[in-house]
Structure 1
Amino acid sequence: MATEFKLDPTQLENLEKNIGKLQEVGETTANEVLHTEGNREVMDRITEILPISKRKKRHAKDSKPFKSNDYNLGFTIISKGGAANKKGSYGYLVFPDEGRGIRNPITQNFTGRGLERATPTVIEKLSNAIITKIEEVI
């Protein structure tokens, strides 16, 4: 399961106006923000809500359990976790969006909740970068 960041139509309209003023520079600026600060923000917010069990072992929350696949004006966050029985993996990250596994049948929605928490910050960073770039150009 992967979590994808996309702008909703209202957010896109506002950013589109500003990006349009910059043309190619605007798209490049947006990609720079999304592929560095944006994806890191989403991964951090998801990792923040991952649980730590009482068992004495290494936990996903203490590592960097997610990676980002970047594309033009977006990115997808995917888990680095493998199968639950694979040595060294974080079994509950096999289904990171659900957050369930052998010991926890209840859906936790880690990635959905993390993405929801990160979106306002990502939009703000994106807007600020575009506005700053407009001011530099004008």
Structure 2
Amino acid sequence: MCAAKWSMDFPDVDRLVESISKIPNRSETVINKTLRAKGAPKAMDSIQPIIPLSRKKKKHARDSKALVVKHGNLEFTIRPKRAFEYIKYPDLGIGTSKKKQPKEFMKKGLDKAASRIVDDLADAVIKEIDNTLGE
């Protein structure tokens, strides 16, 4: 089940799409490798520091490696580890902190990392184009 849907729209995406069209048979592999090596870690690094802290004296998600990533084809999904499922639906403002307002830290973290991820993807595809043409 998905708590929140996020997408992006950046001018850099046009550059990425243009690059992908030059090597359509190899772009998928390059993008998957780049998302695994650079994209997901950048997203997680942008989300982790802005996870809200509660006033309770306990192990907090922000201070732990609370997130786990699952890779798919041309995508990744970031979710909390089982011990930190209380942050599962932060953008909806529900869970163990029902009375609190939505924090939207997942969206904010992804927004912060998105342009860097797109740049990494575009650079990786362009590098693959250069390597392919250089063969």
Same fold per superposition (TM over 0.5) = yes
> Any stretches of 5+ residues in structure 2 without a counterpart?
none
User: CA deviation digits over 1:6-35, x for unaligned, max 9?
Assistant: 554855443222122222222111111112
- Is the counterpart of residue 124 in structure 1 residue 119 in structure 2? yes
Give the residue type in structure 1 aligned to 2:42.
E
1:95 lines up with 2:89 in the alignment: yes
Distance 1:32 1:9 in 2: 21
Preserved contact between residue 93 and residue 99 of structure 1 (Cα < 8 Å): no
Query: Is 2:47–2:106's contact at 8 Å kept on the other side of the alignment?
Result: yes
- Does structure 1 residue 51 correspond to structure 2 residue 76? no
Q: Distance in 2 between matches of 1:91 and 1:74?
A: 22
Q: TM-score, normalised by structure 1?
A: 0.77
Match of 1:114 among 93, 109, 113: 109
What amino acid maps onto 1:38 in structure 2? G
Which residue pairs with 1:25 in the alignment?
A: 26
Structure (1/2) with the larger helix percentage: 2
Residue by residue over 1:43-99, the C-alpha shift from the partner in whole angstroms, topping out at 9 and shown as x without a partner, is: 111111013345442111122222222222122222224xxxxxxx33641313345
Alignment of 1:105 onto 2:121: no
RMSD: 2.6
Q: Percent identity?
A: 31
Give unpaired runs (5+ residues) of structure 1: 82-88
